[in-house]
Amino acid sequence: MRRRTVLTAAGAAVAMLALRGAASAQETMKIGLILPMTGSFASTGRQIEAAAKLYMQQSGDTVAGKKIQLIVKDDTGVADVTKRLAQELIVNDKVGVIAGFGLTPLALAPAPLATQAKVPAVVMAAATATITEASPYIVRTSFTLPQATVPMADWASQNGIKKVVTLVSDYGPGIDAEKAFSGAFGAKGGQVESLRVPLANPDFSPFLQKVADAKPDALFVFVPSGVGAQFVERGLDKSGIKLIGPGDVTDDDILNGMGDVALGAITTQHYSAAHDSPENKAFVEAFKKANNGMRPNFMAVGGYDGMHLIYEGLKKTNGAGGEALINAMKGMSWMSPRGPVSIDPQTRDIIQNIYVRKVERVNGELYNVEFATIANVKDPVKAAKSN
């Protein structure tokens, strides 16, 4: 009799502990935001962190009864570090979501961990088409290079451009951009010559000499966010050739510092700080106010929308993570500062408008001014596979 009482009391204590554990696990949803905060691609980290924090400031830090805790980690732009940080965040901190991923190799490295742990991974920056195929737990709120590039090829062929040299950073997104452009432009009878520059510390001068010698009608450039200023400084000025490409080269983070040499560049992309909508005006104003006047770029909007996707997903699952959360994100649609967007339920990529833009001076500042819209563009690489 006495023995049974003791056992019952002990059983109750264990049950209480288990309950308390479950309750505290339920109360907090941790999001591990892994970004290059230092190194050559720190501007991507700075923009995304600022946007994620702005989203939380505006939307509160409780969703479906859960307290949202953002844990920001600096991977310094090195893929092995991204992977180690993702492992630590999942195993030690028990995060329910990993997010960020400033470059393609940094998004690919932790993909197997997301799959094993069944933790959704929200890619807010990296843009090589294949990334979402690396794990069924990856969802993307940035873009893909082929998605942004095919409209550029169409515009060029419709606007009297016959011969183009492509110059791209020699890794995933650059190769995607080169292939998408030469495929689509070549199919319309255009002529293309392709050059690739190293990703790390590129010296553009010898490449720009080759471009000048080839005398194309336009130079198509992909360099990752933040690198465009170096490119423009090191000689575009002297080449006198029309600059076209996906919008990374005239990224809003650096555009205003580029000077008149950038004027007239035509690019195609999903986001411009000059996008004319009430949602974007409010976003740009709040972002600048919270960040000493810094202008948001396309990385910021990827971070902001990534947080929105997590919040709305959690509302749908009533706070549950894992497979329920990734499933809740599929097919979700909303009005972003960039325009209307949705998550493709088949590919987990973002479907969005691509805008054709021209660099112009507006009220004394340089902007990518949108002048045409291609609505609801899917990643063309995956669309072609599913046909």
225 binds ligand DHB (CB under 6 A): yes
* Distance of closest approach, residue 147 Cβ to ligand DHB, in angstroms: 11
* Cα distance between residue 145 and residue 176, in whole Å: 6
221 binds ligand DHB (CB under 6 A): no
* Cα distance between residue 119 and residue 77, in whole Å: 22
Residue placing its CB nearer to ligand DHB in the complex, 190 or 224: 224
Among 33, 44, 45, 366, binds ligand DHB (CB under 6 A): 44
151 close to 352: Cβ distance less than 8 angstroms: no
DSSP run (H or E) holding 25: helix 2-27
224 binds ligand DHB (CB under 6 A): yes
Residue placing its CB nearer to ligand DHB in the complex, 199 or 310: 199
Using CA atoms of 343, 382, 36, 62 in order, give the dihedral in degrees to the nearest 10.
Answer: 10
**Segment lying near ligand DHB (by CB under 6 A), choices 124-132, 149-157, 202-210, 264-272:** 124-132
113 binds ligand DHB (CB under 6 A): no
67 close to 29: Cβ distance less than 8 angstroms: yes
- With contacts defined by CB under 6 A, how many residues of the chain interact with ligand DHB? 12
248 binds ligand DHB (CB under 6 A): yes
The token pair at 65 is 């009864």
126 binds ligand DHB (CB under 6 A): yes
* Distance of closest approach, residue 278 Cβ to ligand DHB, in angstroms: 27
Residue placing its CB nearer to ligand DHB in the complex, 127 or 232: 127
* Distance of closest approach, residue 173 Cβ to ligand DHB, in angstroms: 4
Give the chain's radius of gyration (CA, Å).
23
Using CA atoms of 284, 314, 269, 371 in order, give the dihedral in degrees to the nearest 10.
Answer: -60
* Cα distance between residue 344 and residue 384, in whole Å: 14
Residue placing its CB nearer to ligand DHB in the complex, 28 or 230: 230
The token pair at 49 is 């962190």
153 binds ligand DHB (CB under 6 A): no
What part of residues 155-214 is at the interface with ligand DHB (CB under 6 A)? 172-173
104 binds ligand DHB (CB under 6 A): yes
* Cα distance between residue 315 and residue 342, in whole Å: 17
Q: Which three-class secondary structure state does DSSP give residue 370? A: strand
- Residues in contact with ligand DHB by CB under 6 A are 44, 103-104, 125-128, 172-173, 224-225, 248
